[in-house]
A and B are shown apart, each in its own frame.
With several copies, the nearest count.
Chain A
């Protein structure tokens, strides 16, 4: 997390420091309960090269929507215990509105298009969680993420 914060709030060499006065972070952690089931652990699977491409798409979208914002984000894979962080997003911007919006936008887009799948192991069984049909070029879902980001 500190590394991600450093990535977005660091300034270019030679620049005056601290142009980005607002830093917003999002951490998603493994919850002990989901839809009434007692969760034991989660397993995340990713199609890694495509995930990196999706992350690049999201970073480009952020650059277009909030030119003053910088973002960094990371999604873990493999087996995660309760309370562990699965995803982290950091957004920095000169002012807070853009930082909040960019951060929220990134997590919405990660959930919409990143090729990552969550298998939930609960007391009594396991289930693949399925959310959005991943379509990186779907304008409507990008607009929906933008709407949730409230800008």
Chain B
């Protein structure tokens, strides 16, 4: 399946991109997308424990399954206000 990955805050600085399109094989979840991304950009790996995620602009968990065409967003700890 083909998914769009969006990166925010320091994550897009570390990966050098705000939006990426990647192919995932088989039954992928948000965690799959994160693993693929962290292998490609090891600098983001330390965020594994603090990152949260959204799928199609709704809050999601690492276990949320993905479908072809989904938009997955990875969110570093937020700092609004």
Question: Which residues of A are in contact with B by a Cβ distance under 8 Å?
Answer: 28, 44-47, 49-50, 53-54, 75, 86-87, 107, 110-119, 128-137
Asked whether, in the complex, the Cβ of B77 is within 8 Å of the Cβ of A47, the reply is: no
Which bucket holds chain B's interface residue count? 20 to 34
Answer whether A110 and B8 are a contact pair too, CB < 8 Å, given A50-B57, A133-B52.
Answer: no
Answer whether A117 and B79 are a contact pair too, CB < 8 Å, given A47-B6, A130-B10, A137-B59.
Answer: yes
Answer whether A47 and B73 are a contact pair too, CB < 8 Å, given A117-B9, A128-B13, A130-B9.
Answer: yes
Asked whether, in the complex, the Cβ of A128 is within 8 Å of the Cβ of B81, the reply is: no
The 8 closest A-B CB pairs, nearest first, are: A116-B80, A117-B9, A49-B57, A128-B10, A130-B77, A129-B79, A111-B81, A118-B79
Mostly, the A contact residues are mixed
The A-B contact count (CB < 8 A) is 92
Q: How far is the CA of A45 from the CA of B75 in the complex (A)?
A: 11
B60 to chain A, nearest CB (A): 10
Query: Which of B50, B59, B79 is close to A50, meaning CB atoms less than 8 Å apart?
Result: B59
B24 on the A face (CB < 8 A):
no
Task: Mark interface residues in B40-64 (1 if CB within 8 Å of A CB, else 0).
Answer: 0000000000111010011100000
A90 to chain B, nearest CB (A): 15
Shortest Cβ distance from B50 into A: residue: A133
Within B65-81, the residues touching A (CB, 8 Å) are 73, 75-81
Apart from A115-B75, A116-B79, A130-B50, list 10 A-B contacts with CB within 8 A.
Answer: A47-B6, A111-B78, A115-B8, A118-B80, A118-B81, A132-B77, A133-B50, A133-B51, A134-B75, A135-B52
Asked whether, in the complex, the Cβ of A114 is within 8 Å of the Cβ of B78, the reply is: yes
A9 to chain B, nearest CB (A): 16
Pick 27 A–B contacts, CB within 8 A, sort by A: A45-B9, A46-B80, A47-B8, A47-B54, A47-B73, A50-B73, A86-B80, A86-B81, A110-B81, A111-B78, A111-B79, A111-B80, A115-B54, A115-B73, A115-B75, A115-B80, A116-B78, A117-B76, A117-B79, A117-B80, A118-B81, A130-B9, A131-B79, A132-B78, A133-B52, A134-B52, A134-B78
